[in-house]
Amino acid sequence: MSLVLVLGGTRSGKSIFAEALATEATSERVLYVATAMNAGNDAVLDRRVRDHRERRPAEWGTLELGGGELGLILEEADSWDVILFDSLTMWAAARMSGEERDLIVGEFEDFASRVESGPGNFILVSDEVGLGVVPESAEGREFRDLLGFLNQRAASVASEVYLCVAGIPMRLK
C-alpha cells in the first residue's frame, strides 16, 4: 500500500498533478473519489466539477462521496489499482456542517491507519490552508485548524508528499 499526498492552494494545479500521477501508475484501473457536491446553487463550483469530469478518462470509475463515510473508499480498495481522493478539503467541509470535530478527526484517523496498513494505492488531494490569512470567523479558524491537522496526519502516513504552487509540484517527502 502507498499513500501519496498532494497539497496546494486553490488553483495551484494539485488536481491536474494528482490525475497525472494516477495515469502514470496505471492506464485504466483508477477510481476517482469525488467530494465536491453541489446542489446547483453555485455556478463556479458547478463549472469546476464539470471541468474535473471532462478531464478524467472515460474508463476511470467514479465514487461520488461528498461528505460520506470514508469506509466506503476502503471497501473499494481491492477493486482498483489506484484510488484518487479529491479532495480531503471538500470532504472535511461537508462533514463539518453536521458533526463535531472529534468525530471527523476520529473517522480520518481510522481511515489513515487502515490506508497505512492495508491494500491499495491512494492519491489524496487537499488544500494547504496554513499559508494564508487568518480567517475572520471562528468557524473559518476552526476549519483551517481541522484541515491542517488532517493534512499533518495524512502526511505522517504518506510515502510521498507534494506541494503544488503555480502548477509546479515540489516533492516534500
Per-residue pLDDT tens over the stretch 83-111 = 999 999 999 998 887 678 889 999 999 99
Lowest mean pLDDT among 31-40, 54-63, 148-157: 31-40
Peptide bond into 79 cis (omega under 30): no
In whole angstroms, what separates CA 75 from the centre of its chain? 17
Residue 115 reports pLDDT greater than 80: yes
Of 52, 66, 137, which Cα lies nearest the Cα of 98? Answer: 66
Strands in the chain per DSSP E? 2-8, 30-34, 61-64, 82-86, 121-127, 160-165, 168-171
- Structural domains of the chain, with CATH: 2-171 (3.40.50.300)
Report the catalytic residues.
52
Query: In whole angstroms, what is the distance from residue 117 CA to residue 104 CA?
Result: 20
Reported as a single tens digit per residue, the pLDDT across 18-40 is: 999 999 887 679 999 998 776 56
